[in-house]
Homo-oligomer: A and B are copies of this chain.
C-alpha cells in the first residue's frame, strides 16, 4: 500500500489519493481513515496539512479547477481557429471519459453532496462552469467575427449558451447511461450549432 521512494510531499500524496477516492466513491462515502491509509501518511500528518475533511474537499476542487484550466488551455493550443477549438473541446471528453471509469462531472457530483449553495466548494464548482462559459463565449465571438456577413444575424452569446447546455448535458447523460455515446452526440450537436 505504502509506496516507498515516493518523492511527492505528504500533502501531495493526500490530495492525489483523496481526489481519486472522492471522484470514484463520492465525498461522504470516503472516510479520512481510508485516505490516510491509502496515501501512506500518519493521521497527525494529515491534520497538520488539512485542518478538516472539509478543507480537503475544497483543496480537491480548487486543484482540479486549476489543473483543468491549464489542461484546456494547453489542449486547445494546437487547434488553428475558434471553430476547431470549440469542437476540439468536446473531442477531449470521449477518451478522457474512458480513461477512468466515467463517473460524471466531478464538480457537479461533489456539489450535489453539499446542500448549502453558499459553501466554498459550491462556489468553486460554479466558477469552473463560468470559466468554461467565458472561454466558449470568446471563441464564439471570434468565430462570428471570422464568418463576417454570413453570421451577421447570429447572436454569439446565445450560441455560447446553447453550446454550454449541450456540453453539460453530455456529461450528465454519459454518467446515467454509463456510456460515452452522449459525448459523441454532443459533438454532432455542436457541429450543427456552429454550421
A-side interface residues toward B, CB under 8 Å? 24-26, 28-29, 103-105, 107-109, 111-113, 115, 117, 122, 125-126, 129, 158, 161-162, 164-173, 175-178, 182, 185-186, 188-189, 192
Query: Could you tell me the distance in whole angstroms from the C-beta of A92 to the nearest C-beta in chain B?
Result: 17
* Inter-chain contact B104/A176, CB cutoff 8 Å: no
Q: What CA separation (Å) do A195 and B110 show in the bound complex? A: 37
**B residues near A173, Cβ cutoff 8 Å:** 129, 164-165, 168
Main DSSP-derived SS at the A contact region:
helix
Indicate if the CB atoms of A185 and B161 lie closer than 8 Å.
yes
- Say which residue of B113, B168, B177, B182 sits within 8 Å of A172 (CB atoms): B168
**Cα–Cα, bound, A28→B126 (Å):** 23
Least Cβ–Cβ distance between A91 and chain B, in angstroms: 16
| CA gap between A144 and B186 in the complex, in Å | 22
Most buried by B among A158, A166, A175: A175
CB distance A165 to B175 under 8 Å? no
Q: Tell me if B28 and A176 are in contact (CB < 8 A).
A: no
User: In the complex where A29-B113, A177-B129 touch, is A185 in contact with B165 (Cβ < 8 A)?
Assistant: yes
Contacts of A112 in B (CB 8 A): 26, 103-104, 108-109, 112-113, 175
Complex CA distance for A168 and B170, rounded to whole angstroms = 8
